[in-house]
Amino acid sequence: MQHIETSNLQAILEEAGCNTEYARQIAVLDGLGSHEEALRFMKCARCDLIETMHDIQRKVDRMDTLIRNEEKKRGERHDENRKIESYGRMG
């Protein structure tokens, strides 16, 4: 792994989606020269991110199904290209 200062590596890992403690552990391992172990932890963190992404995709798919069902009830045609500006962001 290219040498990155421990504090920089931790910040980069956190930006990439690692929680603070996990990012710190990886950065410490790398700083101690345990590059293989740090790499293993990073791969585990990546798997967690992929799983989260899949969970979110399933939620988006469910929402799409609900939208299509409601549009069918109303006889509306689903138009992929239209911009939906009136709905705003829901938190």
| DSSP assignment string, 27-82 | HHHHHTT-HHHHHHHHHHHHHHHHHHHHHHHHHHHHHHHHHHHHHHHTTPPP-TTS
CA–CA separation, 10 vs 88, rounded Å? Answer: 35
Per-residue pLDDT reduced to its tens digit, 8-31? 999 999 999 999 999 999 999 999
Per-residue pLDDT reduced to its tens digit, 69-81? 999 988 865 455 4
Higher pLDDT, 2 or 64: 64
Q: Give the pLDDT confidence score for residue 81 in this predicted structure.
A: 45
Q: Give the pLDDT confidence score for residue 82 in this predicted structure.
A: 57
pLDDT at 63 over 70: yes
